[in-house]
Structure 1
Amino acid sequence: MKRTCATGVLILALAFGGPAWADTVRVGYTPEAYPPFFLQDASGKWGGWELEIVDALCVEAKLDCVLTPTAWDGIIPALTTKKIDMIAASMSITEERMKTIDFSDRYYKSPAEVVAARGSEISATPEGLKGKILGVQVSTTHEAYARKHFASAVAEIKGYQTQDEAFQDLAAGRVDAVQGEAIAAEGFLASDQGKACCEAKGNVVDDPEILGLGAGFGFRQDDDPLREKINAAIKGIRASGKYDEISKKYFTFDIYGD
């Protein structure tokens, strides 16, 4: 499945062949429910805050962008092997990932939060999770954090391919708690299912080495021109008010963060 964002806006090919994205920028995203960042409507079309921001950035930067669905666990290899040109997947900027790819400037920042059954005594600490089953999305900063900070306390760290699957198992009682981005957790807790079962139990103690410096768009390490265009576009849509215009449709707070 592919669809075009910023349609009708073409970039000019450079004189000596140009970069891989001289005709189109293939923007890799993960086609999975991650509200309010990624949402699929009844017709199967993907939207949500992140894809609206990508569309605005491509218009601002005068880039022709094609959204390219890519599995989360293969999205960095897809970038480095030039199957896509840019990652837009709420990916945290971390030192470990920067060994392989480059990042744009931050475009939002969300703390990591633990969610559990309403009324339970679970908290976002090793003591509060002692003997519990903790769900996390695999190959994420949340899994890395849980294995570093909670592995000695919990009974099991259970991995899921998507954050939505982790929340579904929490609602069904198959795990005791789930760790994820506070903003994604807010979306789940606002749903009928989330309201009925669960509540936020607090943010984990920050570990910038693992949790990173916020979310950034990913680029190949030799693709400074595209990264710089997107950085300029981030500044541009924030200055013009477009960033806030989109964000206010999804959030009641400043998602950009401090």
Structure 2
Amino acid sequence: MKFIKRTLAFTGALALAASMSACASTANTSTGATDNPYNLKQPGTIQVVINSDAKPFTYMDNGKPAGFDKELLDHIANDLNLKVTYTGQEFSAILPALGQGRYDMGAAGISITDERKKTVDFSDGYFVARYAVLDKKGSGITSDKASLKGKRIAVTQGSYQETLATKNFTESSLVKFTDNTVGLLAVKNGTADALFTDLPIAAGYVQENPDVPFETTYGIAADDAPIGYAIKKGNTKLTDALNAGVKKAIEDGTYKTIYEKYFAGIKLPAEYQPKK
């Protein structure tokens, strides 16, 4: 009889402990969700990996991160009462770093493709991507695609431009570099005939190098691969918050203000016009 009573007492103690443990677990989960509603690596701070050589999307200005992607994200994060930290990487390392869970998201003029969706999630597109060939006047390259035959075209390794160039410039030789700056230098010194990159980046290089007779020639519009923020896979809370933030910035005109600051001379597409 004593044995039975002890057994019942022991079983009851286990049940009570399990119940308390479950309550504590629920409380911890609830508290965690409240403290970290966007499932960030560090509650209250979005850790972002960028390419510091993708002006005007993301770049370094006097040692500080800057650019269209960065300023738009800062605005959204401020509305969410979140801080943002930025870490620079070569473009080809951004998506692998997100896939490994080292950051919450990436921003670098990143084109949204089905292949990349295997590694990361994306926000809704917030920029219609257009690409151009940057060459020196007298190179023989024109707006006619045939003029690229036999030319050495520099591209950033791992970029969507590399994918487009591989598909479209089948009679050209692709020279792959770690970033646009190295590719630009190759065009300057003649080890490459042209650089294939985002139109805003190419246009910026023309303005920033008045001593070199740069020009933009052959172009490609890639409406099927808009630019968006890359997000660590599975973080739907952050993805939804970014989508809502981008939509609000477009509707209230904040997006237009930031766009015109970085893309002067490039017409704002109708879908990004403020809602009156």
What is the TM-score with the length of structure 1 in the denominator?
0.83
Aligned-partner Cα distance in 2 for 1:84–1:256: 31
- Provide the secondary structure at the position in 2 that maps to 1:54: helix
Aligned-partner Cα distance in 1 for 2:164–2:128: 16
**For residues 71 and 39 of structure 1, do their structure 2 counterparts lie closer, same or farther at Cα, with a shift above 3 Å needed?**
closer
Equivalent residue letter for 1:232: A
Instruction: Write 1 or 2 for the structure with the bigger share of helix.
Output: 2
Decide whether the 8 Å contact of 1:167 with 1:178 is kept in 2: yes
- Provide the secondary structure at the position in 2 that maps to 1:248: helix
Aligned-partner Cα distance in 1 for 2:73–2:112: 17
Structure possessing the higher relative contact order (Cα contacts under 8 Å, 6 or more residues apart): 1
**For residues 256 and 228 of structure 1, do their structure 2 counterparts lie closer, same or farther at Cα, with a shift above 3 Å needed?**
farther
Decide whether the 8 Å contact of 1:109 with 1:255 is kept in 2: no
Aligned-partner Cα distance in 2 for 1:55–1:257: 24
Say whether 1:49 aligns with 2:68: yes
Deviation digits for residues 63-105 of structure 1 (CA, Å, limit 9, x no counterpart): 2222222332221121122210011111100111112211101
Decide whether the 8 Å contact of 2:132 with 2:198 is kept in 1: yes
Decide whether the 8 Å contact of 1:110 with 1:183 is kept in 2: no
Matching residue of 1:178: 195
Aligned structure 1 segments of 4 or more residues deviating by more than 6 angstroms: none
Say whether 1:203 aligns with 2:219: yes
Please show how residues 159-170 of structure 1 align to structure 2 within 5 Å.
159-170=176-187
What is the TM-score with the length of structure 2 in the denominator?
0.78
Aligned-partner Cα distance in 1 for 2:127–2:244: 15
**For residues 13 and 237 of structure 1, do their structure 2 counterparts lie closer, same or farther at Cα, with a shift above 3 Å needed?**
farther
Instruction: Write 1 or 2 for the structure with the bigger share of strand.
Output: 2
Aligned-partner Cα distance in 1 for 2:146–2:185: 24
- Provide the secondary structure at the position in 2 that maps to 1:221: coil
Please show how residues 1-258 of structure 1 align to structure 2 within 5 Å.
13-15=32-34, 19-21=39-41, 22-31=43-52, 33-42=53-62, 44-123=63-142, 126-151=145-170, 153-154=171-172, 156-193=173-210, 196-204=212-220, 206=221, 212-252=224-264, 253-255=266-268
Larger Rg computed on CA atoms: 2
Aligned-partner Cα distance in 2 for 1:102–1:124: 35
**For residues 166 and 150 of structure 1, do their structure 2 counterparts lie closer, same or farther at Cα, with a shift above 3 Å needed?**
same
Aligned-partner Cα distance in 2 for 1:143–1:111: 14
User: Unpaired runs of 5+ in structure 2?
Assistant: 1-30, 272-276
Deviation digits for residues 209-233 of structure 1 (CA, Å, limit 9, x no counterpart): xxx4210101133111100000000
**For residues 245 and 74 of structure 1, do their structure 2 counterparts lie closer, same or farther at Cα, with a shift above 3 Å needed?**
same
User: Unpaired runs of 5+ in structure 1?
Assistant: 1-11
Percentage of pairs with the same residue? 26
> Which region of structure 1 is more displaced relative to structure 2, 119-128 or 57-66?
119-128
Decide whether the 8 Å contact of 2:123 with 2:239 is kept in 1: yes
Aligned-partner Cα distance in 2 for 1:129–1:230: 39
**For residues 236 and 17 of structure 1, do their structure 2 counterparts lie closer, same or farther at Cα, with a shift above 3 Å needed?**
closer
Aligned residue pair count? 238
**For residues 38 and 255 of structure 1, do their structure 2 counterparts lie closer, same or farther at Cα, with a shift above 3 Å needed?**
farther
Equivalent residue letter for 2:247: K
Aligned-partner Cα distance in 2 for 1:183–1:257: 18
Decide whether the 8 Å contact of 2:110 with 2:228 is kept in 1: yes
Decide whether the 8 Å contact of 2:135 with 2:216 is kept in 1: yes
